[in-house]
């Protein structure tokens, strides 16, 4: 039962992460401008009159019946995921002596999902502040990564010993992918995905004019600087260009990492998977720029980020155990003799 619940929660989290991207990218994040219900009602159907009045007052605005349903379906599934994680934590605590149960991770997940629920609330009530929306995205990715780790442990996936250098390189690869996801989330939540509409240059330049000071000021309203002025095109360019440069760094690092993995016995298919993962993600990023951010490609790019994160988590689990030094064992006894 524990393993089935972990697997179900992992699959549901992956779906909720992609659905959340779809809700955000289709401008449905404020489809219901209150929380946790919709105009105080359980479903958009019960709030149809309030939604109609809001749409009449602001045609083409953030509120409509289809957008409200998108937002509420996302909330329903996220709430279901929270209940699943509570059940997993309870079972993990009861079976904490079982080596296949990482009960500390399962209990920590409860805290993560509670904070994630609060971020979901603040996303709506604080009107899509970039820092809150980006944090909400990261909370979903963190939940996915931790559930992936629990699943690997629950299904007793074997762990192979490698040299300390490769293990450290795998951990650094995971950190770089996480940072790139943060940059991608910041780009998306600031609506800077099309700040550079050409590729590989930006506005025809290899180093475009940019305002990095205002671009990465965290505490501010959507589309505004910390001083309350409109965010400039140069600031949006800085956000986009930084994400693009980050992608270049990550691609180069993961290519070298895949080459090193390919030389490790039993890791050839994992090296190929890593190469395929970052290549697909990079191509999706380029396609989003060249085709002006079509919704399916934009959602797929978010899904690609989640997939790449899961690949790095799996690699760190499989090959993250450092092998014992050559001088241990019998040589260690001889040294004292």
pLDDT tens per residue across span 91-128: 999 999 999 999 999 999 999 999 999 999 999 999 89
**Residue 239: per-residue pLDDT:** 98
| Mean pLDDT over each residue of the chain, to the nearest integer | 94
Q: What is the mean pLDDT of residues 62-84?
A: 96
pLDDT at residue 321 tops 90: no
Active-site entry in 71, 209, 221, 229: 71
pLDDT at residue 62 tops 80: yes
- On the CB side of 35, how many CA atoms lie within 13 Å of its CA? 17
Q: 11-61 pLDDT, tens per residue?
A: 999 999 999 999 999 999 999 999 999 999 999 999 999 999 999 999 988
**Residue 328: per-residue pLDDT:** 47
All structural domains of the chain with their residue ranges: 1-157, 159-337
pLDDT at residue 231 tops 80: yes
What 264-272 contacts at long range (C-beta under 8 Å, 24+ apart), as own/partner pairs, is 264/162, 264/166, 264/319, 266/160, 267/160, 267/318, 267/319, 270/314, 270/315, 270/318, 270/319
**Residue 60: per-residue pLDDT:** 84
Known catalytic residue at 227: no
Considering the entire predicted model, what is its pTM?
0.93
pLDDT band at 331 (very low <50, low <70, confident <90, very high): very low
Q: What is the mean pLDDT of residues 214-223?
A: 95
Q: What is the mean pLDDT of residues 86-94?
A: 97
């Amino acid at each position: 039962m524990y393993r089935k619940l972990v697997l179900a929660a992992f699959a549901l989290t992956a779906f909720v992460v992609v659905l959340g991207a779809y809700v955000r990218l289709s401008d449905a994040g404020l489809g219901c401008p209150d929380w946790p219900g919709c105009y105080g009602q359980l479903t958009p159907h019960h709030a149809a009159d309030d939604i109609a009045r809001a749409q009449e007052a602001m045609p083409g605005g953030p509120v409509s019946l289809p957008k409200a349903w998108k937002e509420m379906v996302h909330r329903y599934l996220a709430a279901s995921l929270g209940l699943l994680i509570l059940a997993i934590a309870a079972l993990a605590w009861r079976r904490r002596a079982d080596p296949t149960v990482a009960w500390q991770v399962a209990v920590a997940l409860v805290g993560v999902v509670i904070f994630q629920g609060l971020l979901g609330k603040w996303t709506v009530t604080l009107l899509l502040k970039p820092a809150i929306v980006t944090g909400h995205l990261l909370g979903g990715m963190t939940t996915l990564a931790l559930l992936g780790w629990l699943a690997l442990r629950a299904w007793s996936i074997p762990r192979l010993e490698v040299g300390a250098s490769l293990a450290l390189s795998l951990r650094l690869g995971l950190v770089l992918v996480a940072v790139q996801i943060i940059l991608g989330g910041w780009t998306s939540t600031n609506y800077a995905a099309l700040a550079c509409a050409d590729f590989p240059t930006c506005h025809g330049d290899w180093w475009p004019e940019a305002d990095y000071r205002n671009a990465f000021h965290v505490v501010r309203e959507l589309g505004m600087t910390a001083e309350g002025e409109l965010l400039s095109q140069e600031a949006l360019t800085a956000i986009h260009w930084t994400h693009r440069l980050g992608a270049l760094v990550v691609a180069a690092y993961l290519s070298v990492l895949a080459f090193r993995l390919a030389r490790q016995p039993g890791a050839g298919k994992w090296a190929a998977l890593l190469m395929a993962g970052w290549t697909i993600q990079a191509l999706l990023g380029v396609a989003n720029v060249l085709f002006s951010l079509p919704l399916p490609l934009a959602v797929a790019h978010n899904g690609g980020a989640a997939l790449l994160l899961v690949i790095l988590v799996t690699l760190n689990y499989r090959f993250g155990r450092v092998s014992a030094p050559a001088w241990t064992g019998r040589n260690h006894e001889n040294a004292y003799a």
